[in-house]
Structure 1
Amino acid sequence: MSDTPRHRKSATTKPLSPERRDFLRASGVLGLGLASSGLALHPGSARAAEPPKRGGTLRVAVPAAKSIDPLKIDSAGAIAIVQQVGEYLVWAEPDLSLRPVLATAWHTPDGGKTWIFELRRGVRFHDGREMTADDVVATFERLVDPKQASVARAQIPFLKPGDTTKVDRHTVKFALDRPVGEFPYYTQIYNAIILPHDYAGDFAKHPVGTGPFRMVDYKPQQHARFERNPDYWDAGKPYLDAVHLGLYGSPQPMILALQGGGADMMLGISSIDAKPLLDKPDIRIARAHSSATRLLAMRVDRKPFDDRRVREAVALCLNREAMLEVLLGGAGELGNDHPVAPIFGDHIRLKQRRRDIAHAKQLLAQAGHPTGFDIDLYTGDYLELPQYAILAQQMLAPAGIRVKLHVEPLNTYYDHWTEVDFGLTDWTGRTTPSQILSAAFGGHSEWNAAHWKHPGFDKLVAELEATVDPRQRDRLANRAAAMLHDDVPAAIAYFIDLLRPMRRNVRGVEANMSQYLDLTRAWLA
Structure 2
Amino acid sequence: MYSKKNLDRQARTGMVSRRDFLKTAAAAGIVASGAGALAVPAFGAGPEDAPKRGGHFRLGLSRGSTTDTLDPAKFADVFMQSVGFAIHNYLTELTEDGELVGELAESWEPAPDATRWVFHLRKGVTFHNGKSLTAADVVASFNHHRGENSQSAAKGIVDPIASIETDGPHTVIFNLKSANADFPAITSDYHMAILPEKGGEIDPDSGIGCGGYILQNLEPGVEAVVTRNPDYWKSDRAWFDKITFLAITDTAARTNALRTGQIDAMDRVDLKTVNLLKMDPNLEVNSVDSDQIYYFPMDTQAAPFNDNNVRLALKHAVDREDLVERVLKGYGRVGNDHPIGASYRYFADLPQRQYDPDKARHYLKKAGMDSLTVDLSTSSAVFTGAVDAAVLFKEHAAQAGININVRREPADGYWDNIWRKRPWCMSYSSPRATADWFFSQYYSADAAWNDTNWKNQRFNELLVAARAELDEDKRAGMYAEMQRLIHDDGGSVAPAFSAYVSAARTNVGHGRIAMNRDMDGNRIAERWWFKD
Q: Same fold (TM over 0.5)?
A: yes
1:402 alignment partner AA: N
Q: How many angstroms apart in 1 are the aligned matches of 2:348 and 2:447?
A: 24
Shift of 1:187: 0.7
Partners of 2:138 and 2:194 within 8 A in 1? yes
Cα distance in 1 for partners of 2:332, 2:474 equals: 27
Question: 2:401 maps to which residue?
Answer: 400
Check 1:349–1:343 CA distance in 2 against 1; reply closer, same or farther (3 A cut). closer
Written as runs of structure 1 = structure 2, the 5 A alignment for 1:304-343 is 304-343=304-343
Aligned to 2:73, what secondary structure does the other structure show? Answer: coil
Deviation of the 1:397 alpha carbon: 1.5
Residue of structure 2 equivalent to 1:37 = none
Give the percent of matched residue pairs that are identical in Structure 1 and Structure 2. 27
Alignment partners' CA distance in 1, 2:45 and 2:14: 27
The 2-side partners of 1:275 and 1:345 are apart by 34
Q: 2:465 — aligned with what?
A: 463
Residues 251-309 of structure 1: per-residue CA shift (max 9 Å, x gap): 22211111111111114445346343232222222233332112312222222122211
Distance 2:394 2:442 in 1: 23
Cα distance between partner residues in 2 of 1:343 and 1:115:
26
Q: What secondary structure sits across from 1:254 in the alignment? A: helix
Match of 1:438 among 437, 440, 447: 440
1:31-77 residue CA offsets vs partner (Å, 9 max, x unmatched): xxxxxxxxxxxx95152764322211111112224323212111221
Query: Which residue of 1 is the match for residue 455 of structure 2?
Result: 453
Contact 1:341–1:433 (Cα < 8 Å) also in 2? no
- Is 1:47 aligned to 2:48, yes or no? no
Q: CA deviation at 1:410?
A: 4.0
**Would the aligned equivalents of 2:182 and 2:434 in 1 still touch at CA under 8 Å?**
yes
Tell me which of 488, 512, 517 is aligned to 2:522. Answer: 517
CA deviations on 1:202-221 (whole Å, 9 max, x unpaired) are: 63xx4210011111122222
Corresponding residue number in structure 2 for 1:356: 356
Seen in structure 2, the aligned counterparts of structure 1 residues 431 and 268 have a Cα distance that, compared at 3 Å, is: farther
Task: Find 1:124's aligned residue among 122, 126, 131.
Answer: 126
Matched, 1:242 2:242: yes
What are the equivalent positions in structure 2 for 1:470-509 lying under 5 Å apart?
Answer: 470-508=472-510
**Within-5 A mapping of 1:4-403:** 13-14=4-5, 17-22=8-13, 44-47=41-44, 50=47, 51-62=50-61, 63-65=63-65, 66-68=67-69, 69-160=71-162, 163-198=163-198, 201=203, 203=205, 206-235=206-235, 237-269=237-269, 271-272=271-272, 274-370=274-370, 372-382=371-381, 383=383, 384-403=385-404
Which SS does the other structure have where 2:349 is aligned? Answer: coil
Distance between the aligned counterparts of 2:275 and 2:387, measured in 1? 16
Q: Which residue of 2 aligns with 1:27?
A: none
**Is the 8 Å Cα contact of residues 498 and 511 (structure 1) preserved in structure 2?**
no
Alpha-carbon contact 2:295-2:496 (below 8 Å) kept: no
Tell me the CA shift for residue 359 of structure 1: 1.3
Does the residue aligned with 1:112 lie in a helix, a strand or coil? coil
Amino acid across the alignment from 1:47: G
Residue type of the alignment partner of 1:17: D
Report what 1:409 is aligned to.
Answer: 410
Please name the residue that 1:39 is paired with: none
Matched residues in 2 for 1:195 and 1:327: separation? 41
Aligned-residue RMSD, C-alpha: 2.3
Q: Is the 8 A contact 1:217 1:226 kept in 2?
A: yes
Offset, 1:468:
5.0
Do the aligned partners of residues 436 and 267 (structure 1) sit closer, same or farther apart at CA in structure 2, a change above 3 Å counting?
Answer: same
C-alpha distance 107-424 of structure 1, shift in aligned 2 (>3 A): same
Which residue number corresponds to residue 26 of structure 2?
none
Q: 1:237 to 1:304 in 2, by over 3 A?
A: closer
Structure 2 CA distance, aligned partners of 1:91 and 1:287? 22
Does the 8 A contact of 1:118 with 1:171 survive in 2? yes
Mean Cα deviation higher: 336-345 or 248-257: 248-257
SS in 1 for 2:355: coil
Determine if contact 2:197/2:203 at 8 Å carries over to the other structure.
Answer: no
Q: Is the 8 A contact 1:287 1:511 kept in 2?
A: no
SS at match of 2:133: coil
Name the CA distance, whole Å, in 2 between partners of 1:176 and 1:409.
Answer: 42
CA separation of 1:505 and 1:463: change in aligned 2, threshold 3 A: farther
- Report the residue type matching 1:396 in the other structure: A
Change (3 A) 1:48 1:171: farther
Shift of 1:235: 2.9
Post-superposition offset of 1:314: 0.4
Amino acid at match of 2:104: L
Moved more, 115-124 or 102-111: 102-111
Distance 1:117 1:454, change over 3 A: same
| Kept in 1: contact 2:72–2:204 (CA 8 A) | no
Q: Which moved more, 1:140-149 or 1:304-313?
A: 140-149
Q: Give the conservation status (yes or no) of the 8 Å contact 1:289–1:343.
A: no
- 2:42 maps to a residue whose letter is S
Distance in structure 1 (CA, Å) of the matches to 2:136 and 2:508: 37
> Scaled by the length of structure 2, what TM-score is found?
0.87
1:144 match: secondary structure: coil
Q: Residues 350, 256 of structure 1: CA spacing in aligned structure 2 closer, same or farther, 3 A cutoff?
A: same
Instruction: Give a deviation string over 1:66-102, Cα, whole Å, max 9, x none.
Output: 3232121112211111211111111112443112211
What residue number does 1:3 align with? none
Deviation at 1:321, TM superposition (A): 1.1
AA partner of residue 443 (structure 1): A
Gapped regions of structure 1 (runs ≥ 5): 1-7, 25-42
Q: Following TM superposition, by how much is the alpha carbon of 1:393 offset from its aligned partner in structure 2, in angstroms?
A: 1.6
**Contact 1:312/1:488 (CA < 8 Å) preserved in 2?**
no
Change (3 A) 1:360 1:421: same
SS of residue paired to 2:458: helix
State the alpha-carbon separation in 1 of the partners of residues 142 and 473 from structure 2.
Answer: 32
Q: For 1:210, what is the secondary structure of its paired residue? A: coil
8 Å CA contact 1:288, 1:512 repeated in 2: yes
**Structure 1 residues 62-71 or 476-485, which shifts more?**
62-71
Task: State the Cα distance separating 1:347 from its structure 2 match.
Answer: 4.5
The residue number in structure 1 matching 2:423 is 421
Where do 5+ consecutive residues of structure 2 fail to align?
16-39
Bigger mean CA deviation after superposition, 265-274 or 232-241: 265-274
